[in-house]
Copies of this chain bind each other. A is one copy, B any other.
Amino acid sequence: MRPDFPVEPGLWHGTERNTRDQERKRRLLDAALELYGTQGYRATTVHAVCQSARVSTRSFYELYADQGELLTRLYLDLNNEVLDAIAARTVLPAADALSAVKALVAAALGPMLEDERKARVLQVEVVGVSQALARERRLTTRRMAAAVDAAFDDIAAAGLIEAAPKGLTSLILIGGITEALVQRVETKPSQRESKAEFIEQVAQVIVRMTGTGTPR
């Protein structure tokens, strides 16, 4: 018999509509990380992302307005990962400033040192794309600076450094480390320092910047 009202099953292959959408989004984000992080955002087409994610372009446009939106989501997700890493670092009972800072640096850079694609998306691919993304980047960078400031407050409270840096210091720190990381990623793996060495060097610069030395 013919129902004279629309049927709304919602279920499909045993899963809810919402779940299915989430799943597709996850696949798209994975594909985006892979493609944007290796070939670059500019060199990636909607078609390619969809193919890599095994999602139809049709579905793509049901989930995102355009590729820019996908990039933005990926950017925000990766950023949250880093922010979480910074926030979640245990303020372990470090003996001195250097080891405390090293732990912090290792936590913050962890995701990007582990997975270069993340570094590339986070620091290269989102630049100069759109007005909206530039704004997002500005805000995010400030959030990051705030997180760094908070971390240093903790270290200062533990008496390991004289005073937490303020003003432009954390911003310069973030930009600087970012640049160091970009240079590292753009260097052939064969001629890079080890991760540990890299973290050590970065930590030393930071300690000097935030140490007890007074400008004269």
Contacts and interface: CB of A to CB of B under 8 A. Distances in A.
A204 to B, nearest CB: 6
Contact of A172 (B168, B177, B210, B215): B177
Contacts of A134: 124, 186
A152 to B, nearest CB: 13
Given A171-B176, A176-B175, A209-B208, A183 B124 contact: no
A214 B211 contact: yes
Contact of A216 (B96, B171, B182): B96
A201 B138 contact: no
A164 interface: no
Contacts of A205: 168-169, 172, 209
A66 to B, nearest CB: 14
Q: How many copies does the complex hold?
A: 2
Contacts of A208: 208-211, 213, 215
Given A128-B125, A201-B167, A202-B168, A179 B180 contact: no
A171 B183 contact: yes
A131 B48 CA distance: 19
Contacts of A211: 208, 213-216
Interface string A86-125: 0000000000111000000000000000000000000011
Contacts of A176: 171-176, 179
Contacts of A179: 141, 171-172, 174-176, 178-179
A110 to B, nearest CB: 18
Nearest to A123: B127
A209 B212 contact: no
A215 B134 CA distance: 36
Given A98-B215, A127-B128, A174-B179, 15 more contacts: A124-B128, A125-B128, A127-B127, A128-B129, A134-B186, A135-B186, A138-B187, A142-B183, A167-B201, A168-B180, A169-B205, A175-B180, A208-B209, A208-B213, A213-B213
